[in-house]
Structure 1
Amino acid sequence: MLSLSSWLHMRIPFSYFLMPVFLFTLAISPNNSMYEPVFWTFIIVHLLLYPASNGYNSYFDKDEKSIGGLKNPPPVNKGLYSLALFFDALAIGLGWLMINFTFAIMLLIYGLVSKAYSHPAVRLKKYPIGGWLVAGIFQGFFTFIMCYVGINKFSLETAWQWPVLIPAALSTLMLWGNYPMTQIYQHDEDGRRGDKTLSLLLGIRGTFYFVGAVFGMVTLAFVVYFNAYFSSRQAIAFLIALSPVVLYFLYWFAQAYRDETKADYQHTMWLNFISATCLNAFFLYLTFSAMKFI
């Protein structure tokens, strides 16, 4: 359980790419200045729950080629399975102790769904549409509501209101637009295992076209949301924050259109990094703006 390979497969730094949902939740939370629940929600979700999911999926995928956050994955062992379950249990226990029972139950549900994504008994990953829908809903909408409950120490009923449900839904749309790009360099390995992901179904060029179309619609939806719930200033700032992402996406698309081997791990990780950095910066700006710091 304590082997280096097991810890590498937990891919803790990869949680950086998933931070925009947490920071978006923080920005619209009424209790975002309650530093203790904010701290514990972040630690539990990003340093325990997400790594547990990464490790568990790696154990059953047994990838030999690059995976998200790990260019050369070492062989997996039984210790990885135990470490992932330990992180899961620790997340749920701390969630109950430091936040509330509702938050702990939501952590449990997220963990079960993430296991269904890769476990051979269910293997949601092999269903192109179903796997894409479930991943987007739970990494977006569900995680947003879960973090809202954790950050504010609220009940689920308190979170079930339009000012929370709308940005939660936008988070899922954002994930639906991004998710196929994370699969684009794994076509060979996914095909070998029989996992027909959405990106594999669409093909290299089809993935770019699909992501570009969804991304355009999602951007419009975000602009409408910020104009309605914040101001045009935040809507413009959002567009400015996304401009490096769009430029890199178009640059990469032009390369991959001419040579499909450019749809590789390195370009995917750069897109993930640029996208996460821009969105994290924007949602931090939104949070500080809501807290009247700027």
Structure 2
Amino acid sequence: MLLIPTLQLLRLPFSFFLMPVFLFALSQASTINWTQACIVFLILHILVYPASNAYNSYMDQDEGSIGGLKHPPKAPKSLYYLTVVMDAAAIGFSCIISISFALGIGLYILASRAYSYRGIRLKQYPYLGYATVVFFQGGFTVYLCSMVFGVSEHFLMASAACSFLIAGVYPITQIYQHEADRNDGVKTISMVVGYIGTFMLTIFMFAVAMILLFVYFEQTHTRSHFFILQAFMLPVVSYFVYWFRLVWINKEAANFEHTMKMNLIASVCMNGCFVVLTFLNQTA
């Protein structure tokens, strides 16, 4: 009976929303060792991210909607033990890549646990929690992938761009949870800036990210790739503007359904873009 809620709370499909960072790093590799790439993908998207989701659910004991689950089940004790096993497996498999990569994965896991653990609970601090997510899900993940795929001389620009992308995406994922977070003693960055402010913050962070990406693609002599990215971003921007208008008129539109649609559209478009860029780079 515990198997179904345990699997649900891993939120494996939610890993799709985090895939653009991995695919971006992959798309910028000059040559790809596909065996290692698959191992890194499995470590991040089948072990690390789902375990992080599950641990957060166990600590929060959510009763309202969470990312990917409108009606989450109660988190059983077995879920905690599963996250420990998954974390150990992630570090173990990371050793196949290298010890330094395994240490990086271990650091990511520690940061994730500090974010959720009731004794530390970084997520209750709006700026510190926000910075933790932006750094580790953005630039640090690009760095981990670059350790495997190869580090270019323009690595820092790429990492910074990904951090700003996460900085734009993350507040939007919090926008429908204000009441639940308030009841749990958590104050998110979205709560600090408000509903309209969340959209404005996203616009600003994405604008900075796009400027950095333009500079990055200029530096790597692949300007056309920037314009390919803009083409893929059109559906994302269109839905974002549509949703922003709805929320401007009625704050009730800042709900779970619109948030998940926004996440899905953005993930499909950005994942598709970076798959195309991977193909172009590997066939150039």
Q: What TM-score, normalized by structure 2, do the two folds share?
A: 0.96
Equivalent position of 1:155 in the other structure: none
Shift of 1:136: 0.4
Pick one of 271, 276, 284 that aligns with 2:275: 284
| Equivalent residue for 2:203, pick from 193, 207, 212 | 212
Q: How do 1:131-210 residues align onto structure 2 when only pairs under 5 Å count?
A: 131-151=129-149, 159=151, 162-210=153-201
Give 1:72-151 correspondences, 5 Å limit. Answer: 72-96=71-95, 98-151=96-149
Q: Distance in 2 between matches of 1:31 and 1:203?
A: 44
Q: Is the 8 A contact 1:41 1:151 kept in 2?
A: no
Distance 1:35 1:231 in 2: 23
Structure 2 counterpart SS, 1:291: helix
* 1:227-238 matched pairs, under 5 angstroms: 227-238=218-229
Q: CA deviation at 1:162?
A: 3.5
Q: Is the 8 A contact 2:31 2:282 kept in 1?
A: no
How far has the Cα of 1:271 moved from its partner?
A: 0.7
Cα displacement (A) at 1:79: 0.5
Question: For 1:29-40, what aligned pairs fall within 5 Å after superposition?
Answer: 29-32=29-32, 34-40=33-39
Structure-1 residue corresponding to 2:28:
28
Runs (4+) of structure 1 exceeding 2 A deviation are none
The CA deviation string for residues 199-256 of structure 1, in whole angstroms up to 9 with x for no partner, is 0111111111111222222222222222221333112111111111111000000001
The residue type paired with residue 187 of structure 2 is K
> Normalization by structure 1: what TM-score?
0.93
Aligned length: 284
Query: Per-residue deviation at 1:180?
Result: 0.3
Deviates more, 1:124-133 or 1:204-213: 204-213
Residue pair 1:227, 1:234 contacting (<8 A) in 2 also: no
- Cα distance in 2 for residues equivalent to 1:232 and 1:107: 32
The unaligned stretches of length 5 or more in structure 1 are 153-158
C-alpha deviation, 1:179, in angstroms = 0.7
Residue 148 (structure 1) shift: 1.8
- Taking the aligned partners of 1:37 and 1:51, their CA distance within structure 2 comes to 20
Check whether the contact 2:20–2:267 (CA below 8 A) recurs between aligned residues. Answer: yes
Counterpart of 1:94 in 2: which secondary structure?
A: helix
Moved more, 232-241 or 80-89: 232-241
Deviation string for 1:48-102 (max 9, x for gaps)? 1111111111100111111011111001110110111111111111111x21111
Query: SS at 2:154's partner residue?
Result: helix
Match of 1:254 among 233, 236, 245: 245
Distance apart, 1:2 and its partner CA: 5.7
1:59 corresponds to: 58
Q: Tell whether the 8 Å contact from 1:129 to 1:198 is kept in structure 2 after alignment.
A: yes
Q: CA RMSD in A?
A: 1.4
2:216 is matched with which residue: 225, 228, 238? 225
Amino acid corresponding to residue 4 of structure 2 in structure 1 = L
Q: Matched residues in 1 for 2:211 and 2:94: separation?
A: 35
- 1:15/1:46 contact within 8 Å kept: yes
Structure 2 Cα separation of the partners of residues 179 and 139 of structure 1: 10
Cα distance in 2 for residues equivalent to 1:164 and 1:2:
44
Percent of pairs identical after alignment?
40
